[in-house]
Amino acid sequence: MIMFKRIQQFFKDVIAEFKRVQWPTREATIKSTSVVVGVSLAVAFYLGISDLGLSDIMQMVIAG
């Protein structure tokens, strides 16, 4: 019975914390998401180009 009360109190505390959270605005969320997508694409592009370059170098080394 005590465990049930502790679990119930835990969920009450979780709900109370969620009410205190300052959620970002729609504009802030879109801006942050755009930054993440942009940086991810830039890193993917850089890694792709690096991989192609290193792959060509390795082919030349292996071929002799």
Residue ranges per domain, the chain?
A: 25-64
Q: Measured in whole angstroms, how far is the alpha carbon of residue 27 from the centre of its chain?
A: 18
Backbone angle region of 22, left / alpha / beta, with phi > 0 → left and psi within -120 to 50 → alpha: beta
* Residue 1 predicted with pLDDT over 90: no
List b or e across 36-53, with b for residues whose CB sees 16 or more CB atoms inside 10 angstroms.
eeeeeeeeeeeeeeeeee
Q: What pLDDT does residue 64 have?
A: 75
* pLDDT tens figures, 2-34: 889 999 999 999 999 999 999 999 999 999 999
* Residue 46 predicted with pLDDT over 80: yes
DSSP-assigned states of every residue in 15-54:
HHHHHH--PPPHHHHHHHHHHHHHHHHHHHHHHHHHHHHH
The whole-number average pLDDT for the span 26-49 is 98
